[in-house]
Amino acid sequence: MMKIAVLGAGSWGSVLGSMLADNGNEVVLFGNNEEVNQEINDYHTNDHYMKDWQLNETTRATGDLSQALDGAALVLFVLPTQAIRSVAKNVGKILIQTGSKPLLVTATKGIEPGTKKLISDILSEEIYPNDQDKIVAISGPSHAESVAQKDLTAISCASTSSSNAQQVQQIFSNDYFRLYTNDDLVGVEVAGAVKNVIAIAAGILVGKHYGDDAKAALMTRGLAEVTRLGVNYFCAQPMTFSGLAGIGDLIVTCTSVNSRNWRCGKQLGEGKSLDYVLENMGQVVEGATTVKAVYELCQEKQIDMPISEAIYRVMYENCNVDDEITKMMGRSPKQEIRL
């Protein structure tokens, strides 16, 4: 048994924390909502994020970060992208004081606007400067709602250290949750982050009542964009995008009602405003933040990502969805297979 600190008490934090407790570990969730923490401790439920579901009864929650980290051999980050840096700074300060060096695992899927940094870069900068070996990213086709019901799930766990990736593989795996190791840390992170932008586009098509042909084309060309950004800017390995973290996660996020990004896009396609959608979603829509970073990269590095650029214009420049679709379909002819 090891102690695991799960930073984030939302749907994913609760589900992964409960699963890790089922796997025989001591798990403490850290969250900033005291009502949620109290509910988890008193009733082993988290109704705000996961209706009609119970956590493992040994799982505890706290609003005290030092308490959560005390004695932890592994720290799992399941926070929104915009919260990662501030929490990581505090984690770094506490670990310096205690002298602890736990393994860091990120399940957050995003790119930081402004810096255009991946989550592993932020954790490295704020906690383990210039040392990514102790950082592992887990990503792939999975929804908290499905894992909570013990649906069969397979994802990637990636690290620059094969032994640390294998350790995480062993800690997380069970008879319904299977992990495959991958040495392309940045590729796995890029795939997990940018597919959220494509999922918004997929939802928009559904909201506009387009059919299967349109959805298939969108996912295929969306994968080309994700791959192009990963390979050309982040120096990722092309094959990563054909794996679980790439095409696997893209498929599930672009087709499932459990995807917040897909639901966001669907409502945008139906004519609702972005402010309305984000205010009423109840949880963070990561693609809404990531699309800003992707758009900045497209402009700065001249990376051809027409779908992502169109989503940015629809969300933040009040451009008309139908006009953007017409513009995209009228682009000059291109060769299909290119980076």
Residues that are catalytic: 195
Determine whether 183 is exposed, middle or buried from the number of CB atoms within 10 Å of its CB (0-12, 13-18, 19+).
middle
Amino acid, res. 333: P
The total number of residues shown for the chain amounts to 339
The per-residue DSSP string of 241-284 comes to: GGSIIIIIHHHHHHH-TT-HHHHHHHHHHTT--HHHHHHHHSS-
DSSP type of residue 134: T
DSSP type of residue 153: E
Question: What residues form DSSP beta bridges with 77?
Answer: 7, 106
Q: What is d(CA 51, CA 63) in angstroms, rounded to the nearest whole number?
A: 22
DSSP type of residue 238: G
DSSP type of residue 7: E
Q: What is d(CA 224, CA 232) in angstroms, rounded to the nearest whole number?
A: 12
Q: Which residues of 295-320 are buried (b: 16+ CB within 10 A; e: fewer)?
A: bbbbeeeebbbebbbbbbbbbeeeee
Q: What is d(CA 38, CA 34) in angstroms, rounded to the nearest whole number?
A: 6
Amino acid, res. 22: D
Each as own residue / partner, the long-range contacts of residues 252-255 (CB below 8 Å, 24 or more positions apart, any chain) are 252/141, 252/142, 252/143, 253/141, 253/195, 253/196, 253/198, 253/199, 253/202, 254/195, 254/198, 254/199, 254/202, 254/215, 254/218, 254/219, 254/222, 255/202, 255/215
Q: What is the CA radius of gyration of the chain?
A: 19
